[in-house]
Structure 1
Amino acid sequence: MSTGAMEEGNQAMKLYSHPMSSCSRRVRLALNLKGLEYDCINITSTTDPELLKVNPMGYVPALVDGTSVISDSYAILLYLEEKYPSHSLLPQDLTRRAINYQVASIVSSSIQPLQNMTLVNYIGEIVGPEEKLPWAQHHITKGFVALEKLLTNYASKYATGDEIYLADLYLAPQLDNAINRYKVNMTEFPLLIKLNETYNKLPSFQLIMAETRTSE
């Protein structure tokens, strides 16, 4: 798959991805936003030999850009921001930039790892299958409480203003997971609901979220 417009003289990047991976979706949203062409290689196993060549951990996403190989979504996003500054992922205002970093940190360290399917399935094995959904819902809700408060004074059309930034790339896949996979009760999160509705109206976001649902 190729997306966006390739910069003249550059070979298309390769992104090792999986439709259900929220980490991969962050990177795909950033690539689309920046108008960068890339080949999306969907991985079905963490032991895939092709993936292990670029990331011995066997995790997605992993990005190959010429001779550069980067894994971990946060590292990839910062790399893209520095090498391809068109349509910046970060606002100029330092306070709002810090809020973007905080949103990314809350999602990537306090929510996503605790609702990862590998961990959720393990909880089901050691405690009981009936505990899988409550476990995920509890940790997602805890993170959403923090995000709702954090963004109250900064959100506008998007999470931290009128442009799509890093925070939105982390929020969109996480909200989609919470609502469609884990059936989180969103009634106490009107700001997050509004943002999710906005993301669902964006064609590039719609495409990537739809791929996730159809792959489940």
Structure 2
Amino acid sequence: MDLFTYYRSTSSYRVRIALALKGLDYQAIPVNLLRDGGEQLKPEYRAINPQGRVPSLRTEAGRVITQSPAIIEYLEERYPEVALLSSDLIVRASQRAVAALIGCDIHPLHNVAVLNRLRGMGHDETEVIAWIAHWISEGFNAVEQLIGDDGWCFGASPSVADVYLLPQLYAARRFNVELSACPRILRVEQLALAHLAFQQAHPDAQSDKPA
């Protein structure tokens, strides 16, 4: 498998976590979102992903899957060992709800394209950072109430909820979002920092991270 990725992309990061948790081998193909106006916008990459976004996954059969939720669902169905979803339907739905809250309601609002649009509309960096902090904080306040009191987000092993949460935490740290009101989230972060799969997927461990 080939994963078209960018070290600091939260959506790429979550796919890397899923691959690492499942112990799957893949070739990382970096797509620099900043170089030369963004390699994701070049015709060569748009031929792979017409939307011009990362990540994209090229399967062993040569088929390309775009959008991190679709990629993670594909991996879960194609490689069910080391399951990322509970067999309990209610817990399973709760895991998906946290993933969707992060993937649909937090992350898109600090996507590079959105932030550049804000800048293009005349907002300065102070206003952009305040925008990011507001939406991450609002979303995390809800996540904090949805996850459990012990272990990972929903029990003794990481699930799709944790796969989405850790990259969002990375973004929160990047933008200096205050997290003291989220002890459950911080507990999960500590578990992830000590877990090999999360370490392997971390932006700092990627070959395309600038020296």
TM exceeding 0.5: yes
The corresponding residue for 1:165 is 159
Query: Could you tell me how far apart the structure 1 residues matched to 2:15 and 2:177 are?
Result: 24
* Structure-1-length-normalised TM-score: 0.87
Q: 1:129-144 counterparts in 2 under 5 A?
A: 129-144=125-140
- Is there any run of 5+ residues in structure 1 with no aligned partner, and where? 1-12
The corresponding residue for 2:78 is 83
Residues 158 and 184 of structure 1: CA distance in aligned 2, closer, same or farther (over 3 Å): same
RMSD: 1.8
Flag the structure with more relative contact order, 1 or 2, with Cα contacts below 8 A and sequence separation at least 6: 2
1:121 aligns with 2:116: yes
- Kindly state the Cα deviation for residue 37 of structure 1 after the two structures are TM-superposed: 1.0
* Structure-2-length-normalised TM-score: 0.89
The corresponding residue for 1:60 is 54
SS in 2 for 1:196: helix
Percent of aligned pairs sharing the same letter: 35
2:104 to 109, 117, 122: 109
Size of the aligned set, in residue pairs, is 201
Residues 119 and 48 of structure 1: CA distance in aligned 2, closer, same or farther (over 3 Å): same
Residues 92 and 116 of structure 1: CA distance in aligned 2, closer, same or farther (over 3 Å): same
The corresponding residue for 1:96 is 91
- Kindly state the Cα deviation for residue 117 of structure 1 after the two structures are TM-superposed: 2.8
- Is there any run of 5+ residues in structure 2 with no aligned partner, and where? 33-38
1:31 to 12, 19, 22: 19
The corresponding residue for 1:147 is 143
Query: Could you tell me how far apart the structure 2 residues matched to 1:96 and 1:33 are?
Result: 19
Query: Could you tell me how far apart the structure 2 residues matched to 1:117 and 1:134 are?
Result: 15
The corresponding residue for 1:3 is none
2:190 to 197, 202, 205: 197
Letter in 2 for 1:197: Q
